[in-house]
Structure 1
Amino acid sequence: MMRFLHLADVHLDTPFAGREPEVRTRLRDAVREAFRRAVDLALEESLDAFVIAGDLFDGETFTFETERFLVEQLGRLTRRGVTVVYATGNHDPGEETARRRPEWPDGVHVADGSHPVRVQVHDREGRFTGWITAIGHATAREAADLSPRFPRPDGFLPEVAVLHAQVTSSNGAEAHDRYAPTTVDALRTRGFDYWALGHVHRRQELLSEPSIHYPGNLQGRTPAESGPRGALIVELAGGRPAQVRFRALGPVRWETIDVGGLDEAESLDALIRAIAGRWRERLDDEPGVRADWMVRVRLIGGSPLWRVLRSEEERHTLESELALELDAIEVTVDAEAIHAPVDPERHIDRDDALGLALHELARLREGGGDPGRFESELQGWDPRECTVQEYLTRLLAGADADLVSRMVRSD
Structure 2
Amino acid sequence: MIRFLHTADWQIGTQFGQFEPDEAAHLAEARFETVRRIADEAAARKVDAVLVAGDVFDLQTVSDTVIRRLFGALQAFSGPWIMLPGNHDAALVESVWTRAQRLNCIAPNVRVVLEPGVVLLDECRSALLCAPLTQRITYDDTTAFFDAAETPPGYHRVGLAHGSVSGILQEGIDSSNPIAPTRAASARLDYLALGDWHGHVRVDERIWYAGTHEQDRFRGNDPGFMLDVTLREPGASPRVEPVRVGKYQWHRWDETIAVPTDVDSLKARLAALNGNDVLRLAVSGTAALADAEALHVAVEEARARVRALRVDLSGLQVLPTADDLAELGAQSGYLAKVVARLRGLQEDPQSDPREVARAAEALLLLARIQRELPREARSA
- 2:82 is matched with 85
Deviations 1:78-124 (A, max 9, x none): 3xxx11111100111111235413332112222223x21422252xx
Unpaired segments of 5 or more residues in structure 2?
320-345, 360-380
Matches of 2:242 and 2:201, distance apart in 1: 10
Deviations 1:34-66 (A, max 9, x none): 111011100000000010000001233422222
Say which SS state the counterpart of residue 77 (structure 1) adopts. coil
Matches of 1:169 and 1:331, distance apart in 2: 35
Q: Is the aligned partner of 1:293 residue 2:294? A: no
Say which SS state the counterpart of residue 35 (structure 1) adopts. helix
In the superposition, relative to structure 1, how do residues 291 and 172 fare at CA in structure 2: closer, same or farther (>3 Å)? farther
CA contact (8 A) 1:258 1:298 kept: yes
- 1:253 is matched with 249
Per the TM alignment, residue 72 of structure 1 is displaced from its structure 2 partner at its CA by 2.2
Matches of 2:248 and 2:288, distance apart in 1: 34
Matches of 1:56 and 1:320, distance apart in 2: 35
Deviations 1:16-49 (A, max 9, x none): 1132111011001111111110111000000000
CA contact (8 A) 1:164 1:180 kept: yes
Say which SS state the counterpart of residue 260 (structure 1) adopts. strand
Question: TM-score, structure 1 length as denominator?
Answer: 0.69
CA contact (8 A) 2:199 2:222 kept: no
- 1:331 is matched with 309
- 2:155 is matched with 157
Question: TM-score, structure 2 length as denominator?
Answer: 0.74
Deviations 1:323-373 (A, max 9, x none): 13xx211222233654577xxxxxxxxxxxxxxxxxxxxxxxxxxxxxxxx
User: Where in structure 2 are the equivalents of 1:213-362 lying within 5 Å?
Assistant: 213-224=208-219, 227=222, 229-238=224-233, 239-264=235-260, 273-279=264-270, 292-304=276-288, 319-324=299-304, 327-335=305-313, 337-339=315-317
CA contact (8 A) 1:226 1:253 kept: no
Of 134, 138, 143, which aligns to 2:139? Answer: 143
Between 142-151 and 4-13, report the one with greater CA deviation: 142-151
- 1:189 is matched with 186
- 1:199 is matched with 196
- 1:74 is matched with 74
Say which SS state the counterpart of residue 101 (structure 1) adopts. helix
Matches of 1:68 and 1:182, distance apart in 2: 32
CA contact (8 A) 2:61 2:96 kept: no
AA aligned opposite 1:276: K
CA contact (8 A) 2:60 2:96 kept: no
Q: Is the aligned partner of 1:97 residue 2:99? A: no
AA aligned opposite 2:128: I
Deviations 1:253-291 (A, max 9, x none): 1012343344338xxxx95x542213468x7xxxxxx97
> Is the radius of gyration larger for structure 1 or structure 2?
2
- 1:111 is matched with 113
Per the TM alignment, residue 201 of structure 1 is displaced from its structure 2 partner at its CA by 1.0
Deviations 1:125-177 (A, max 9, x none): xxx33222212011222232111122154522321110001112223363x47
User: Where in structure 2 are the equivalents of 1:399-410 lying within 5 Å?
Assistant: 407=349
AA aligned opposite 1:330: A
- 1:172 is matched with 170
AA aligned opposite 2:307: I
- Identity of paired residues, percent? 22
The number of residues matched between the two structures is 318
- 1:29 is matched with 29
Q: Is the aligned partner of 1:45 residue 2:45? A: yes
Matches of 2:215 and 2:120, distance apart in 1: 30
In the superposition, relative to structure 1, how do residues 143 and 257 fare at CA in structure 2: closer, same or farther (>3 Å)? same
In the superposition, relative to structure 1, how do residues 83 and 195 fare at CA in structure 2: closer, same or farther (>3 Å)? same
In the superposition, relative to structure 1, how do residues 337 and 189 fare at CA in structure 2: closer, same or farther (>3 Å)? farther
Per the TM alignment, residue 13 of structure 1 is displaced from its structure 2 partner at its CA by 0.8
Matches of 2:145 and 2:229, distance apart in 1: 24
Matches of 1:256 and 1:406, distance apart in 2: 29
Unpaired segments of 5 or more residues in structure 1?
123-127, 284-289, 310-314, 342-403
- 2:121 is matched with 120
Per the TM alignment, residue 184 of structure 1 is displaced from its structure 2 partner at its CA by 0.8
Deviations 1:218-270 (A, max 9, x none): 111121256551200000012321000111111111012343344338xxxx9
Matches of 2:32 and 2:348, distance apart in 1: 46
Matches of 2:267 and 2:98, distance apart in 1: 49
In the superposition, relative to structure 1, how do residues 132 and 138 fare at CA in structure 2: closer, same or farther (>3 Å)? same
